[in-house]
Structure 1
Amino acid sequence: METMISSLTPQLVCSIEHASDVAAARREGQRLADSLGFDDIRAGKLALIVTEAATNILKHADRGVIHIGPSQSSAGVGIDVLALDEGPGIADLAASLVDGVSTAGTAGTGLGAMRRQADEFDVYSQPGKGSVFFMRLWSTAPAPDACGVDVGALMTPLAGEDECGDGWAVRCDDGGAMVLASDGLGHGPNAARASAAAIGVFDKPAPPLNAADAVHATHEALRGTRGAALAVARLDFAASELHYAGIGNIAGYVYHDTRRALVSHNGIVGHNMRKVQGFTVPFPPGAICILHSDGISTQWDLDKYPGLQGHSPALIAAVLMRDFIRRRDDAMVLVVRRLGHAAAHGVGAAG
């Protein structure tokens, strides 16, 4: 069975700064739920999740951002909600998730409601550094995930642009997964077209199953575009290995017992690509691969975020985007974890 998810299915980004933004975010969620065939009960759950997440931001952090989009999973049709803020954080997370506990003089049911309504729930917070909440809601009971990886990705265009020139894709098959990260040259619609052309190579009936071959195929597909920086990783489940090839300034890292940098060569895919050299690193169950464009600073260190590595890829991507975005270019973060054992998520899925 082969499945593909990618940035061609966009996320909605809702700024939460005023009370009116709560209703606006809820309406965006409702439109997405309608388009994906959610029934009234499931759509109602989504509305409550978005409302509580946005209200929580206003009560405790004054402002923040909510991302709403189709689920980044091959398991079925769903919607992911990420709520990010840079507020005071949560001093006692376990207590705050208990109904009746509040630090804002309210009924104290918001966080508990978010957890109960979501099919999957995760949260990461540090005192003084803000909070990130992740909720996933399926349109129906989810099917088993045959993909073998857990994916989290965020993108944002340069201020003033409607389209993001960065892109990503993950295509799963019985033997592993192909992972793509692209940064179209410049920004705006022409950069977005370059990344879309790169993703199109992955969406063919018989795409390359070798990282270096995929870069060569993408080079041909991008000849009529601005070109792009590009990174491709092939996850081989049987060998527990990651095969990597990159051109340009996509940053890549593998985390398991240690952090290992993935090396790319100079060039622009679609224009002046002189050398493609793949290499291989171990990638056992539980390992994560992080790829991001140069819209994200490379000065991050997961060791400064205790426990974050064990949380959902969506939360890892959100924290890196929140804290290390440069804001002078498009930005994209893609985090892929190989499944195979229970990840140590902070509070786990809803019961």
Structure 2
Amino acid sequence: MLPRHCHHRFDVASTDDIITARRLAMTLAEGRLTDIDRQRLDVVVSALGERASRLTGGATFLMRRWGAEGVECLTFDRNPPADSADDDPGAAALAVVQAQASQFATHTTPSVGSAHLARVWRMDGAAAPSPGSVVDVGAVMVARLGADACGDGWFFRCDNPNNGVALVIDGIPGASASARRVEAVAAATTPGLSPQMVVGAIRRDIADTPTGTVAVLRISGEAVDYTALGTVAGAVIRDRKVTSLAARWAMVGYNPQIPACVHLLWTAGDHVILHSDGCVRLPVLFIERNLHSVDPTLAAAVLLRDGTAMDDDQTILILRNTAAPTTDQANQTDWMTERGTV
């Protein structure tokens, strides 16, 4: 069974596929949306499905429960976008989606394809995102094709408006229980702990049980502190500059030394990308696809579409710094240090 923060992935190209998508949407909405909101969700998924059925090759759908009381639906395709709305057979369907969804975003890449994000939450606003954090977070996590469990994982917690912790697990295929355990350990850590201390808690809890690799970030509006057990790929992107977040080989459950911590300054508009294996060139694709101003979750879906290299459990986490830049930050140059073990 897939965890609630993992996307269900499937292709939609026919009427039968649309029916399957609508049924899944209603299942995900059980106990979360009112009758009226479920109707809105059904209209949204039906319209996205109608558009997909008009495209050569259809489209890929990613759906999951979102937030406290919402459902998220992402779609992407590999059909070069039309020159104008008049030439787009799905333009009317997208207008319906935009009218019915609580949140809607779209992105097109010339000569490649389009991607769309639609979220539906309760009209009373109970599940609407609350402003105030210095970080916008977006993630896509999918299991291998045909699998009903996912060994990858991710976690984000905003400890206060100016600080948070994020984690990505590149797990062993099928080892879903271990990944969920790592997420639970991270969630139970005391707010404000360094990434090394969070990794230490994971090491103690998962001792002698090889689980995969993990990366932990401590984030503020001014800096990113990064620690990893193993080679979870990561990078900080500032405009068109990429700074890789490197780590030595290790595994959770087989790591004789506490890893070092990298400290990197970032400012408003910068991004951090963490991802498990199965994807390649994501920082470069992020720049090439001009995703700097795109919703982070939609950006992650675009990267999944264009950066997938093999069939595997796959997780992409994107963090965008939304803090207001200070005068000191505007005058600072990039720098990075490696902290010793504590």
What TM bracket, shorter-length normalisation?
0.7 to 0.9
**Amino acid corresponding to residue 266 of structure 1 in structure 2:** W
Residue equivalent to 1:33: 29
Q: Are residues 1:335 and 2:318 paired?
A: yes
The answer to whether the Cα contact below 8 Å between 2:138 and 2:300 also exists between their aligned partners in 1 is: yes
1:295 deviation in Å? Answer: 1.5
Q: Secondary structure at the match of 1:128?
A: coil
* 1:178 and 2:160 matched: no
> Structure 1: how far apart are the matches of 2:270 and 2:150?
28
Q: Note the alpha carbon deviations across 1:117-138, whole angstroms, 9 max, x for none.
A: 1222111112321110011222
CA contact (8 A) 2:203 2:253 kept: yes
Give CA deviations for 1:267-290 in whole Å, capped at 9, x if unaligned: 112112424100111122322111
1:112 maps to what in 2?
Answer: 95
Deviation digits for residues 263-317 of structure 1 (CA, Å, limit 9, x no counterpart): 1122112112424100111122322111001111236432321x32210111111
- SS of the aligned residue for 1:243 comes to strand
User: Shift in Å at residue 156 of structure 1?
Assistant: 2.1
Deviations 1:153-193 (A, max 9, x none): 11222234321111100011114110000112x311xx222
Counterpart residue identity of residue 278, structure 2: G
Give the letter aligned to residue 309 of structure 1. H
**167-176 or 272-281: bigger deviation:** 272-281
- Counterpart among 236, 240, 255 of residue 237 in structure 2: 255
CA deviation profile, 1:10-44 (whole Å, cap 9, x unmatched): 322232122111111011111222231x1122111
Q: What is aligned with 1:228? A: 212
Q: Deviating runs (4+, > 6 A) in structure 1?
A: none
2:292 partner SS: helix
The gaps in structure 2 that reach 5 residues or longer are 325-342
- How many Å apart are 1:224 and its aligned residue? 4.9
The aligned residue for residue 44 of structure 1 is: 39
Instruction: Say whether 1:246 aligns with 2:228.
Output: yes
Partner of 1:154 in structure 2? 140
1:150 Cα deviation from its structure 2 partner:
2.0
- Larger mean CA deviation between 279-288 and 311-320 belongs to 279-288
Q: Once superposed, what is the RMSD of the aligned Cα atoms?
A: 2.2
User: Aligned partners of 1:303 and 1:207: how far apart in 2?
Assistant: 33
Give the superposition deviation at 1:205: 6.1
In 2, the alpha carbon distance for the partners of 1:52 and 1:102 equals 17
Aligned-partner residue type, residue 153 of structure 1: A
Structure 2 length-normalised TM: 0.86
The answer to whether residue 20 in structure 2 is matched with residue 24 in structure 1 is: yes
Does residue 130 of structure 2 align to residue 144 of structure 1? yes
Do 1:134 and 1:315's aligned partners in 2 also have CA atoms closer than 8 Å? yes
Is 1:210 aligned to 2:194, yes or no?
Answer: yes
Name 2:335's counterpart in structure 1.
none
Cα distance 1:110–1:129, how it changes in 2: closer, same or farther (>3 A)? same
Matched, 1:88 2:42: no
**Distance in 1 (alpha carbons) for counterparts of 2:243 and 2:209:** 32
More deviation, 268-277/23-32: 268-277
Distance in 2, Cα, partners of 1:144 & 1:319 = 25
CA distance change for structure 1 residues 159 and 24 in 2, over 3 Å: closer, same or farther?
closer
- For 1:135 and 1:292, the matched residues in 2 are separated by 23
CA distance in 1, matches of 2:191, 2:149: 26
How many angstroms does 1:102 deviate by?
A: 4.8
Deviations 1:40-89 (A, max 9, x none): 22111111111111111111243221112122x5xx53221101111122
C-alpha distance in 1 between matches for 2:145 and 2:120? 30
Per the normalisation by structure 1, the TM-score is 0.83
Equivalent pair of 2:189/2:198 in contact (CA under 8 Å) = no
Q: Distance in 1 between matches of 2:231 and 2:148?
A: 23
Q: Distance in 2 between matches of 1:112 and 1:181?
A: 35
SS of aligned partner of 2:166: strand
The alignment partner of 1:159 has SS state of coil
Q: Using the alignment, how far apart are the partners of 2:134 and 2:69 within structure 1? A: 17
2-structure distance, mates of 1:262, 1:222: 24
Alpha-carbon separation, structure 2, partners of 1:205 and 1:277 = 19
What is the aligned partner in structure 1 of residue 330 from structure 2? none
Partner of 1:348: none
Aligned to 2:305: 322
